[in-house]
């Protein structure tokens, strides 16, 4: 999208103005250089300032796409009507050439647990996310694999596959239907989908229920991989992981990557996101994930801290630096102590 890049460089929206402190950290030496293979990189942006402004912000920070919440991520209740700003948002997204858009489903959704009431509520909320996705022009609805809540991995996988089949039976199936994208878990609280093997078994179980493979994709969150003890700290680690996914699942099923560094130690089953190349994973592995030749079809979304405090631009710049083989500058200590997105009610996970 070369035209959009030059447009966004000239944007004078107030949201495009960085504070001098943020600018000093560096918005990325390689901010406007394209990623290898034309792959798309965006961020989960808060909609607090408005939907149109979020799209403008995406362009201003050099993002190709964005991820958003279609509704309150921590509430069961879904609003009845679509937002008034939706038509204006869609024209802005088209004008700026943003995409593929992703909707992150509510956190409460857990299709893998044994509680019948929570299961039914999860079906309802996830069905609603898929039902509104075409109105947003969203290509993906991203949802956490969930937790078996003590019922065991086998039971959890079966339950999840039943739930996915139910949700997709009710969901739109037209050309503009969103793909349901299952996100790996860091493994805390009986989280399922912590390994490639478990993710493969989940997709197999869904396939066994007659669901076409193009309706369900996979999202790998790098911070969750790290917490779960999946090695991604070096280029060799990443290459081995990509080979394993190719052999066990098929790379075409990998639709999205949540590109985050992590604050927790490897294999700790924790999930706390950190600025890129400023956490435990580090720049080498993240750079390889962002540039691996076999992953050019994947859409990348940042879920790093401080999205509404100017660090959206900082981390977009750091990602472009990593992709260009440039080591991102060190961040000031206060940046590393910023609240993780998880501790904020409306933040992504
Ligand atoms: Zn997370
Ligand atoms: Zn994520």
Q: What is the DSSP string of 304-341?
A: -S-GGGTHHHHHHHHHHHHHTTPPPPPPPHHHHTSPPG
Tokens of 340: 């993780």
The rounded distance, in Å, linking the Cα atoms of 177 and 161 is: 19
Q: Kindly report, residue by residue over 33-59, the tens digit of the pLDDT.
A: 689 999 999 999 999 999 999 999 999
User: Which H or E run includes 88?
Assistant: helix 86-96
CA angle 185, 138, 308 (to 5 degrees): 70
Ligand closest to 144 (CA) is 2
Other residues' Cβ atoms within 10 Å of the Cβ of residue 174:
6
Residue 162 Cα to ligand 1 middle (Å): 25
Ligand closest to 223 (CA) is 1
Q: Which residues contact 4 (CB under 8 A, 6 or more apart)?
A: 59, 96, 97
Ligand closest to 272 (CA) is 1
Q: Kindly report, residue by residue over 251-265, the tens digit of the pLDDT.
A: 999 999 999 999 999
Query: What is residue 34's predicted lDDT score, i.e. its pLDDT?
Result: 82
Report all structural domains of the chain as residue ranges with CATH numbers, in order of start: 2-343 (3.20.20.150)
Residue 45 Cα to ligand 1 middle (Å): 15
Residue 341 Cα to ligand 1 middle (Å): 8
Cβ burial 138-159 (10 Å sphere, 16+ → b, else e): bbbbbbbbbbbbebebeebbbb
Taking each helix axis from N to C end, the angle separating 2-9 and 86-96, rounded to the nearest 10 degrees, works out to: 110
The rounded distance, in Å, linking the Cα atoms of 340 and 281 is: 16
Q: Kindly report, residue by residue over 115-165, the tens digit of the pLDDT.
A: 999 999 999 999 999 999 999 999 999 999 999 999 999 999 999 999 999
Query: What is residue 22's predicted lDDT score, i.e. its pLDDT?
Result: 55
Residue 272 Cα to ligand 1 middle (Å): 6
Residue 43 Cα to ligand 1 middle (Å): 14
Residue 343 Cα to ligand 2 middle (Å): 14
Q: Kindly report, residue by residue over 205-250, the tens digit of the pLDDT.
A: 999 999 999 999 999 999 999 999 999 999 999 999 999 999 999 9
Ligand closest to 188 (CA) is 1
Residue 11 Cα to ligand 1 middle (Å): 31
Phi, psi of 238 (to 5 degrees): -65, -45
Residue 107 Cα to ligand 2 middle (Å): 11
pTM: 0.90
What is the pLDDT of the chain when averaged over all its residues? 90
Ligand closest to 343 (CA) is 1
Query: What is residue 339's predicted lDDT score, i.e. its pLDDT?
Result: 72
Residue 301 Cα to ligand 2 middle (Å): 8
Residue 10 Cα to ligand 2 middle (Å): 31
Ligand closest to 342 (CA) is 1
Residue 256 Cα to ligand 2 middle (Å): 10
Separation in Å, CA 29 to CA 37, 99, 296, 329:
20, 23, 22, 10
Query: What is residue 57's predicted lDDT score, i.e. its pLDDT?
Result: 97
Q: Kindly report, residue by residue over 287-302, the tens digit of the pLDDT.
A: 999 999 999 999 999 9
Q: Kindly report, residue by residue over 317-331, the tens digit of the pLDDT.
A: 999 999 999 999 999
Whether the ω angle into residue 100 lies within 30 degrees of 0, i.e. cis, is: yes
Residue 238 Cα to ligand 1 middle (Å): 19
Residue 344 has pLDDT above 90, yes or no: no
Greatest mean pLDDT among 70-79, 169-178, 249-258: 249-258
Say which residue, 254 or 174, is predicted with more confidence. Answer: 254
The rounded distance, in Å, linking the Cα atoms of 164 and 251 is: 21
Q: Which residues pair with 142 in a beta bridge?
A: 104, 181
Q: Which residues contact 83 (CB under 8 A, 6 or more apart)?
A: 51, 89
Query: What is residue 80's predicted lDDT score, i.e. its pLDDT?
Result: 87
The DSSP secondary structure of 110-154, one letter per residue, reads -SSSS-HHHHHHHHHHHHHHHHHHHHHTEEEEEEE--B-TTS-HH
Residue 66 Cα to ligand 1 middle (Å): 17
Residue 303 Cα to ligand 2 middle (Å): 6
Residue 160 Cα to ligand 2 middle (Å): 18
The rounded distance, in Å, linking the Cα atoms of 109 and 146 is: 7
The rounded distance, in Å, linking the Cα atoms of 37 and 35 is: 6
Ligand closest to 269 (CA) is 1
Query: What is residue 31's predicted lDDT score, i.e. its pLDDT?
Result: 54
Tokens of 221: 């969150």
Residue 2 Cα to ligand 1 middle (Å): 32
Mean pLDDT of 81-89: 96
Query: What is residue 10's predicted lDDT score, i.e. its pLDDT?
Result: 39
Residue 349 Cα to ligand 2 middle (Å): 5
Tokens of 311: 């660090």
Residue 258 Cα to ligand 2 middle (Å): 5
Of 65, 93, 96, 91, give the one whose Cα is nearest residue 2: 96
């Amino acid at each position: 999208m070369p035209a959009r890049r030059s447009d966004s460089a000239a944007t004078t929206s107030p949201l495009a103005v960085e504070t001098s402190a943020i600018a000093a950290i560096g918005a990325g030496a390689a901010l406007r250089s394209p990623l290898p293979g034309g792959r798309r990189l965006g961020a989960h942006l808060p909609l607090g300032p408005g939907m149109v402004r979020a799209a403008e912000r995406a362009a201003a920070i050099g993002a190709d796409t964005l991820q958003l919440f279609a509704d309150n991520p921590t509430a069961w209740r879904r609003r009845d009507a679509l937002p008034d700003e939706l038509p204006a948002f869609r024209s802005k997204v088209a004008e700026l050439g943003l995409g593929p858009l992703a909707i992150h489903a509510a956190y409460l959704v857990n299709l893998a647990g044994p509680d019948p009431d929570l299961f039914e509520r999860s079906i309802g909320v996830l069905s609603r996310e898929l039902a509104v996705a075409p109105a947003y022009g969203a290509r993906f609805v991203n949802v956490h694999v969930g937790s078996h809540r003590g019922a065991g991995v086998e039971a959890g996988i079966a339950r999840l596959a039943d739930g996915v089949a139910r949700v997709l039976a009710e969901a739109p199936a037209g050309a503009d239907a969103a793909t349901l994208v299952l996100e790996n878990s860091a493994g805390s609280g009986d989280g399922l989908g912590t390994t490639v093997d478990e993710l493969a078994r989940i997709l197999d179980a869904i396939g066994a229920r007659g669901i076409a493979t193009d309706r369900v994709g996979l999202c790998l969150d790098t911070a969750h991989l790290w917490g779960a003890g999946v090695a991604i700290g070096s280029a060799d680690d990443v290459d081995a992981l990509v080979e394993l996914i190719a052999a066990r699942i098929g790379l075409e099923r990998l639709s999205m990557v949540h590109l985050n560094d992590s604050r927790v130690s490897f294999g700790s089953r924790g999930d706390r996101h950190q600025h890129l190349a400023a956490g435990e994973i580090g720049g080498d592995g993240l750079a390889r994930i962002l540039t691996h030749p076999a992953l050019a079809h994947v859409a990348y979304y940042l879920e790093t801290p401080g999205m509404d405090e100017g660090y959206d631009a900082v981390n977009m710049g750091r990602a472009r630096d990593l992709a260009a083989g440039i080591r991102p500058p060190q961040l000031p200590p206060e940046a590393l102590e910023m609240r993780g997105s998880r501790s904020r009610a409306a933040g992504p996970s």
